[in-house]
Structure 1
């Protein structure tokens, strides 16, 4: 009886106005990336706009002072935060994030090494699974070529729903600090993260592989510039210099060792625009999360808040477009896809744990450098395993990267030692 019910449910999901009868029509409008972008954005707006109006309403009404009832704690947390004082103060002054000054250099190095290994393992595995899900057909037989799964937004939803579940369980089972950031502030990082993921998938259809490599390798500079806008950060000249050297070194290594292994498609104007959108949204996401960590919160709380809004945005857009039930039907028809999507979500959830912890401990720029080096690590590992040779240009690129990292660590340690020396020499004023 159960298999019959599953088959009936799958049939009900497949038979919809946007099913096989309209496949040609869907293929026509789906060729225009800008139309799909605005359709997705319109779906997110139907959630963002009412939320924005509610937040403004509760602030104008001074609900923190006049509100009562069962909904008061929820509204207070979502709109005002948990550590507000009475007297009309709208938001708490953010406290500085701990920089690990009390920890030894060895302890900080081990933390950074653990973050690097965790991020590399999680996202290298995630990349392999992502390629399998998005490029290979399911249900392929000798007579049937199979069908590919094309809705990347549903995969984003799958990743986020598992991540918010894991983070929610951790928050419920372990003691977490109280923090003052209103819940609605997580939505900014959530929407930018969703849009950056969409742009990353979409750009691959319009750009060549070398263009993709150069863009991802040079992402450190846009992240630092966005940090000046979002958090009013100031960077030393050596930080800009090492960032440019790292980008140049990674680009040299990747292009010299992958130019013959990937088909090079034509880079179009649309590809450049989408790629610029990906870099812009991705730079904002990490810097906004870095700014939120100035409030008293843990990486688990950050993971829960961001993924909660991501689930809300993606499921709302999928339901409005009618793609949610189509994707569920695809999962029922192809159990192998369901298995792969589950593994993809697990890798994504593990990767997010390391992402938020890395940003909370070392900041957005260091996290971006680690992720920039991820592609170089993958190719270097392939060279070691399969015996591929590294070209002279690739070796020079690797040497540039490691020299830049050494200079960055050395300069940072010198800056910290100078600050500690200046603090020790400052006379204590008597009251």
Structure 2
């Protein structure tokens, strides 16, 4: 199924510092997908591994601060190596940094109240707020199949949450609220980044460096007020291995962000969300394989609804009419399936 790539106005396209402009659009898309899966599967595993440390779950915001500091260092090194000037106004970065803090901070902190698979399933449904953000921020118009996909995701999300509330002793509605806040921030930031990149032609590393550098100050202020910075530092002083684990976690996340921004630049925010959503589905499987947790068959049905939503979303990107799908299902005598339509 070919994916439509956006025109870049002869702008060079880099993937992890390698120019891939000479590849055709299909190869560019495939390379982005492969590296997203590699880096973010490692990112998800390391995130759950860190929070598996007894007593660490309450320090999600402190981990976010460590993560932002690492990202800032990586971005500063790259900006010095590139020797480039800032292209996006600082006022825009103040907003992007605030949204980035909300995205990662609420996401990390929600693990205090939710199972990791439930947190990931919520993030799988980022398509819904991204569509809303696209309509409000970029005045985009979506097709009926996109709304159908988001409806399937909503139903699957509700079913998964209800299942988790029944089998998980640690379930807390506050975790749902926190991960929902992370989703809202994530939806806005994806569209805001896409709009800024189109308008100012800013490179990926610039967006990462300034967003996380400014975000560090937001986090320092917040954590200093509530006292978490001292409590988190005291806990990690007893378990210094956390800093090394957070380093690996941040490296995989930083490289993953680089690839996602390349995908946003070439395909748009909605396509990037679809690919990262598929990666999150694999993270759920890996989580159940490597970490002990309660399980119910209802997780599977809820997950299948979300997978159906993802599949419908991909069909929509390939301009498949949902009415044609149902017509072909009814006329089985012609021996056509959904795969024949795609």
TM over 0.5: yes
The within-5 A match list for 1:73-152 is 99-100=7-8, 107-137=24-54, 147-148=55-56, 150-152=58-60
Which of 184, 205, 212 matches 2:91? 184
Provide closer, same or farther for how the CA distance between residues 234 and 391 of structure 1 changes in structure 2, counting only shifts above 3 A: closer
TM-score normalised by L of structure 2? 0.70
Matched, 1:307 2:216: no
1:352 aligned residue:
257
Could you tell me how far 1:328 is from its partner in structure 2? 3.4
Q: Deviations over 1:321-342 (max 9, x none)?
A: 4433443343333232222122
Provide closer, same or farther for how the CA distance between residues 402 and 218 of structure 1 changes in structure 2, counting only shifts above 3 A: closer
1:289 aligned residue:
193
1:172 aligned residue:
80
In the alignment, the residues of structure 2 paired with residue 278 and residue 295 of structure 1 have an alpha-carbon distance, to the nearest angstrom, of: 26
Q: Deviations over 1:96-128 (max 9, x none)?
A: x96247799972222222222222222221222
- Structure 2 gap segments, 5+ residues each: 14-20, 291-296, 322-342
TM-score normalised by L of structure 1? 0.57
Which of 300, 311, 317 matches 1:408? 317
| Higher radius of gyration, 1 or 2 | 1
- Structure 1 gap segments, 5+ residues each: 1-96, 138-146, 413-431
Which of 270, 274, 279 matches 1:374? 279
Could you tell me how far 1:223 is from its partner in structure 2? 0.6
Provide closer, same or farther for how the CA distance between residues 113 and 239 of structure 1 changes in structure 2, counting only shifts above 3 A: farther
Provide closer, same or farther for how the CA distance between residues 360 and 324 of structure 1 changes in structure 2, counting only shifts above 3 A: same
Provide closer, same or farther for how the CA distance between residues 371 and 246 of structure 1 changes in structure 2, counting only shifts above 3 A: farther
In the alignment, the residues of structure 1 paired with residue 182 and residue 242 of structure 2 have an alpha-carbon distance, to the nearest angstrom, of: 27
Q: Deviations over 1:154-201 (max 9, x none)?
A: 21121112212222222222254762x311211212112212333334
The within-5 A match list for 1:386-397 is none
1:215 aligned residue:
122
Provide closer, same or farther for how the CA distance between residues 212 and 125 of structure 1 changes in structure 2, counting only shifts above 3 A: closer
Which of 49, 68, 86 matches 1:160? 68
Paired residues in the alignment total 299
Provide closer, same or farther for how the CA distance between residues 133 and 400 of structure 1 changes in structure 2, counting only shifts above 3 A: closer
Check conservation: 2:86, 2:206, Cα contact below 8 A: no
Could you tell me how far 1:319 is from its partner in structure 2? 3.4
Provide closer, same or farther for how the CA distance between residues 242 and 362 of structure 1 changes in structure 2, counting only shifts above 3 A: farther
Check conservation: 2:145, 2:313, Cα contact below 8 A: no
Aligned residues: CA RMSD: 4.1
Q: Deviations over 1:391-429 (max 9, x none)?
A: 7997787577446524523559xxxxxxxxxxxxxxxxx
1:80 aligned residue:
none
1:61 aligned residue:
none
Matched, 1:361 2:266: yes
In the alignment, the residues of structure 1 paired with residue 315 and residue 30 of structure 2 have an alpha-carbon distance, to the nearest angstrom, of: 14
Which structure ranks higher in relative contact order (CA pairs < 8 Å, sequence separation ≥ 6)?
Answer: 2
